[in-house]
Amino acid sequence: YEWDIGHFQGAQRPNVDCFRSTSFGLSESEQEMDSSDPLNGIDKENTDILMYCTGGIRCDVYSTILRKKGFRNLYTLKGGVSNYLKEEGSAGWVGNLFVFDGRLSLPPATYKPGAGDDDDEEEEEGRNRSSSELGRCYACGSEVVELRHRNCANIDCNRLYLCCGRCVEELRGCCGEGCTAAPRLRPLLPSHQRYHKWHLYRHLDLGAPSSPS
């Protein structure tokens, strides 16, 4: 989900839902290899591998794991993307940066005011081309106005996803039709507020609305 609101130009979206499920380069044999793993079949001794993440910590952890698997030329972005945006501005970056607090999403200018103001035509063209891949509504596939995730109103789903304003209203804050009839629904929150603990909502009657007669 981080890639969906911002990434470096040319970066490929990893086929994983969260860091804990990442297993790139960890196959013990060719029979176990996943075709979607970009590290399958590469020369572990001579191939350069660059990783980046928000603050650099996850990359440090995973590079240690890969080194134990025999990968040698491992590189990480010092201080993560947040430090890169402070030092270099938005050069090469498309969209916003996902952050792990209540804000969820920050534009590059938050880290370096004026970032992107001096981009040349080639940089701007590349940014516009890559930005077409950002901000797709999980429910209908249309572009979203604000690059900021929300949690599904169904607490037993709690999916973190992007959603357009129309689908937010029609699905009452849920990520899909299947969640609108769930037994433990939270209220539709305005804008991109974060949900509180379930006990604050469980007394509310938020069942699926009855069909008009």
Phi, psi of 188 (to 5 degrees): -70, 120
In this prediction, residue 132 carries a pLDDT of: 62
Residue that is written with structure tokens 């979203």 in the block = 144
**Of 61, 11, 64, 14, which is closest to residue 37 (Cα–Cα)?**
14
In this prediction, residue 78 carries a pLDDT of: 92
In this prediction, residue 135 carries a pLDDT of: 80
The residues spanned by each domain of the chain are 1-134, 136-213
In this prediction, residue 120 carries a pLDDT of: 57
Q: How far apart are CA 161 and CA 20, in angstroms?
A: 18
Q: How does pLDDT run across 109-132, given as a tens digit for each residue?
A: 999 887 555 555 555 554 454 556
In this prediction, residue 213 carries a pLDDT of: 37
Q: How far apart are CA 78 and CA 60, in angstroms?
A: 9
In this prediction, residue 194 carries a pLDDT of: 86
Weakly modelled stretches of the chain, pLDDT under 70 = 28-34, 115-133, 206-213
Write down the catalytic residue from 18, 53, 140, 157: 53
In this prediction, residue 206 carries a pLDDT of: 67
* Burial label, 213 (beta-carbon count in 10 A; 0-12, 13-18, 19+): exposed
In this prediction, residue 197 carries a pLDDT of: 87
Superfamily of structural domain 1-134: Rhodanese-like domain (3.40.250.10)
Let me know if 53 is a catalytic residue: yes
CA–chain centroid gap for 198, Å, is 24
Cβ neighbors of 175 (< 8 A, separation 6 or more) are: 138, 139, 152, 154, 157, 159, 161, 163
In this prediction, residue 125 carries a pLDDT of: 53
Roughly how many angstroms between the first and final C-alpha of the chain, as a whole number? 40
